Amino acid sequence: MKTGIINSKTLLRSNLGYRIDPDVHLSDGVQAREQLTLSPYDLSTVGENASKVFLGNIFSRVFVKDIKHGMPYLAASDTVLANIETGRYLSHKQVKKLKYLILKSDWILITCSGTLGNVIYTNKTFENHIATHDLIRVIPNDNKVNKGTLYAFLSGKYGYNQITQSQFGGVVKHINDVQTKSILVPVFPESFQQEVDDLIQESARLREEAADVLQQAIQQIEKIIPYPAKKNVKCVSSRTILSSHNKRFEANYYISEGHDIEEYIYKHFTWKPLGEVCEDISRPDIFKRYYVQNGIVFLGGADIFLSNPDSKKQLSKSKTANINSLTIKENTILIPRSGTIGNVAWAHAGHAQKLASEHVIRLQPNDMLKGGYIYAFLSSSIGKALIQKHIFGSVIQHIEPPHLKLIPIPIIEDSIIDDIHNWVIEYSKKVGMAIEKEKKAISMVEQEIDSWSARKEN
């Protein structure tokens, strides 16, 4: 239990909004602001370093089928993903009235409802996307602190703790733009800021290039295999049902895009089942979790798709019995067995040596087909439909390794397979480098602020 004594002056501090709830005054944000008072440099605020800090107004959403009739839409949870193409489009008619919510590059976004304090630096990939009103948008002006340093500071512990200090609400927590403007930011020396900004800008550039080459690989797949129109009615014989895997009886198993794609591949391609082109398709057994403060990062099914795969949960290295089967190996293909079924992740340096839940299925490609090609195929709209064909369950839907092993993988020209594989490997390397550069920038800012305590003692 935390305890502390506050006085009336503390209660009346404007940046806290005259709050009397103890969570505000005993939060890590208080300690962060106290540490910043030791700064040998001037202090500024987020508001001083932004031409605008704002939230949108609540609006009802009108979604349309495709990009011809709408603009790609992002929820707050989508902005932290490695792949922000969600397949949801907001009507062009509605976009005309909400132009101020369209994202631009070099903005800083902060999640402000539910999961608070996730900070995103927008690159060119975010342009021509419209995002929810429920994001704080910071448009940097490079006044006293440049945009890269401002992002690195807000992404680190001293920024995060201030962001979450003034949260309010009961079940669902919130923060607002007024509180964000008052966050203290040190005015670091220009040379230091330039070094941090260079790292953040290089990270943003690498992510743009990674997104481009991955999209190139997926588009190549989708050019080769046409996506069929969905059939709503079809006759299925009892013989077909009895010969199916597990004698499936659901209509969606036989009347779906996935089924039609499967039939097309059978007729027009030489193919191999996924089980034959992978050395292993499996997931770990359920296990008892021992959470610790300084252990190995433990990723859930949703965490593997983050632009920076990370989690506050850490497991004990010594007490976790099946740690080898839980450890993610680089160049493995990861698929959640429940939740967002159909999404696929490629394990890069940001995933490697972390642990993943037993709800994450691991695919280890063998030498028969190249892993990058298999990943790009499964990541395409074609692959997603094939995966989703095998979904089972009612309230919580699932997919299991035996189902994935049945998916047909078309054998196409070697040169095209090589190109697609190389693009995926390039994507993996660039994402890994981007994560390292961003981490280095954030670490530089945190270490500089940490050092102020030692300077004071000396």
- pLDDT in the model for residue 6: 62
Instruction: Give, in degrees to the nearest 5, the angle at Cα 203 between 200 and 205.
Output: 110
Q: Which two tokens stand for residue 359?
A: 């709800």
Query: In this structure, how many other beta carbons lie within 10 angstroms of the beta carbon of residue 433?
Result: 18
- pLDDT in the model for residue 274: 98
DSSP per position, 65-103: SSTTSEEEEE-GGGTTBS----S-EEEHHHHHHTGGGB-
Q: Please name the helix (run of DSSP H) or strand (run of DSSP E) that holds residue 53, with its range, or none.
A: strand 50-54
Distance CA 186, CA 46 (A): 10
Q: What is the DSSP letter of 115?
A: S
Distance CA 182, CA 350 (A): 33
- pLDDT in the model for residue 12: 56
Exposed/middle/buried for residue 266 (C-beta within 10 Å: 0-12, 13-18, 19+): exposed
Exposed/middle/buried for residue 423 (C-beta within 10 Å: 0-12, 13-18, 19+): buried
**pLDDT one-digit tens code per residue, 240-270:** 766 666 667 676 776 788 888 999 999 999 9
Q: Which two tokens stand for residue 370?
A: 């190249």
pLDDT at residue 286 greater than cutoff 50: yes
Which whole-number Å values give the CA distances from 294 to 87, 312, 313, 351, 438, in the listed order?
A: 38, 10, 10, 18, 22
Which amino acid, one-letter code, is at 287? F
DSSP per position, 374-390: HHHHHHSHHHHHHHHTT
- pLDDT in the model for residue 321: 87
Q: Which two tokens stand for residue 456?
A: 């004071």
Distance CA 163, CA 112 (A): 9
Contact residues for 181 (Cβ-Cβ < 8 A; gap 6+): 45, 46, 47, 50, 53
DSSP per position, 319-336: T-TTHHHHBPPTT-EEEE
CB of 287 within 8 A of CB of 357? no
Q: Give the residue from 286, 371, 267, 275 showing the smallest Cα distance to 329.
A: 371
- pLDDT in the model for residue 16: 54
- pLDDT in the model for residue 396: 85
- pLDDT in the model for residue 322: 87
pLDDT band, very low/low/confident/very high, at 339 (cuts 50, 70, 90)? confident
pLDDT band, very low/low/confident/very high, at 217 (cuts 50, 70, 90)? very high
Query: In this structure, how many other beta carbons lie within 10 angstroms of the beta carbon of residue 337?
Result: 19
Please list the alpha-helical segments (H only) found in 156-271: 157-165, 177-181, 190-224, 238-243, 251-254, 257-268
Distance CA 239, CA 253 (A): 15
Average pLDDT, the chain: 90
CB of 353 within 8 A of CB of 311? no
- pLDDT in the model for residue 54: 97
Query: Which residue's entry shows tokens 């006044």?
Result: 143
**pLDDT one-digit tens code per residue, 354-404:** 999 999 999 999 989 999 999 999 999 999 999 999 998 878 889 999 999
Which whole number is the average pLDDT over 201-226? 96
Distance CA 404, CA 382 (A): 14
Q: Give the residue from 438, 442, 371, 24 showing the smallest Cα distance to 207.
A: 438
Distance CA 252, CA 421 (A): 32
Of the chain, the percentage scoring pLDDT greater than 70 comes to 88
pLDDT at residue 457 greater than cutoff 70: no
Q: Which of 12-26, 148-162, 225-239, 285-299 has the lowest mean pLDDT?
A: 12-26
Distance CA 149, CA 138 (A): 13
The dihedral formed by the CA atoms of 234, 238, 240 and 245, expressed in degrees to the nearest 10:
120
Query: Which residue's entry shows tokens 């031409």?
Result: 51
Distance CA 334, CA 348 (A): 11
Q: Give the residue from 172, 188, 189, 176 showing the smallest Cα distance to 56.
A: 176
Query: Which residue's entry shows tokens 């919130």?
Result: 174
Q: Which two tokens stand for residue 136?
A: 């704080």
pLDDT band, very low/low/confident/very high, at 14 (cuts 50, 70, 90)? very low
pLDDT band, very low/low/confident/very high, at 235 (cuts 50, 70, 90)? confident
Q: Which two tokens stand for residue 364?
A: 């280890």
Contact residues for 354 (Cβ-Cβ < 8 A; gap 6+): 296, 297, 298, 299, 309, 327, 328
Higher pLDDT, 2 or 258: 258
pLDDT band, very low/low/confident/very high, at 316 (cuts 50, 70, 90)? very high
pLDDT at residue 167 greater than cutoff 50: yes
Distance CA 357, CA 423 (A): 28
Give the total residue count for the chain: 458
